[in-house]
């Protein structure tokens, strides 16, 4: 469901430009599968470990892309998303899916850092909300998806109290960016994909 509330967004942006960003923490959500995978819809960040490295790190922010991103920036695989474009109508409905594929029989990837940032709408380029993943849980070992784009199951959400902080400033045209760090993410060629055998994508979808 898309909403266009120009008056509300403009007023919200004017207020948020002078306020310190609200902060909260992401938590691991339930293992929900996306039937058929995430495809190219609402991908914010796509990473690939370079060369023989097993480390991935990168971000998509207002300034563009940094780190081991793959694909164009901005592009379908690396770009800020608005809540309305992702059909997210409330903070409680925000869900980040990790679509990670590993080469061969590798069945583990380790998350060492994840931060969601929300930026103002339109010309308001301030950070209005920041939510790192709970540091006390890191590093976090995760099971990759059964093939790229095939039913990613690892999710990250805001708890009830944390979602209330985002809901207090929620507007459809606020923009969502991400940064992430992974280890145990080896890159190796597989049939049909000699250039990049594995990658990690973070997709924002409504629950």
Give me the residue spans of the domains in the chain: 6-184
Residues of the chain falling short of pLDDT 70: 1-19, 32-41, 101-106, 145-153, 186-207
pLDDT at residue number 19: 58
pLDDT at residue number 64: 93
Collect all residues with Cβ–Cβ distance below 8 Å to 156 and sequence separation of at least 6: 26, 27, 28, 29, 95, 96, 98, 114, 116, 133
pLDDT at residue number 16: 38
pLDDT at residue number 6: 23
Residue 144 tokens read as 């990759």
pLDDT at residue number 40: 54
In this prediction the pTM is: 0.79
The residue with tokens 């960040």 is: 45
Q: Where are the beta strands (DSSP E) in 54-167?
A: 56-61, 64-67, 81-82, 94-101, 109-119, 127-132, 140-142, 154-158
């Amino acid at each position: 469901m898309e909403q266009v509330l120009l008056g509300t967004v403009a007023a919200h942006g004017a207020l948020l430009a002078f306020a310190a960003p609200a902060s909260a923490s992401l938590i691991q959500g339930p293992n929900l599968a996306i039937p058929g995978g995430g495809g190219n819809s609402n991908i914010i960040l796509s990473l690939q470990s370079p060369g023989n490295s097993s480390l991935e790190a990168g971000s998509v922010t207002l300034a563009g892309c940094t780190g081991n991103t793959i694909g164009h920036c901005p592009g379908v695989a690396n770009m800020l998303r608005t809540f309305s474009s992702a059909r997210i109508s409330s903070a409680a409905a925000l869900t980040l899916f990790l679509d990670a594929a590993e080469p061969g029989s590798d069945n583990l990837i380790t998350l060492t850092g994840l931060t969601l940032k929300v930026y103002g709408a339109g010309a308001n380029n301030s950070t209005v909300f920041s939510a790192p993943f709970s540091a006390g849980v890191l590093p976090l070992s995760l099971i990759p998806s059964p093939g790229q784009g095939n039913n990613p199951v690892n999710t990250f959400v805001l708890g009830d109290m944390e979602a209330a902080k985002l809901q207090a400033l929620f507007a459809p045209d606020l923009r969502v960016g991400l940064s992430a760090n992974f280890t145990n993410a080896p890159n190796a060629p597989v049939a049909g994909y000699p250039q990049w055998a594995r990658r990690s994508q973070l997709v924002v979808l409504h629950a």
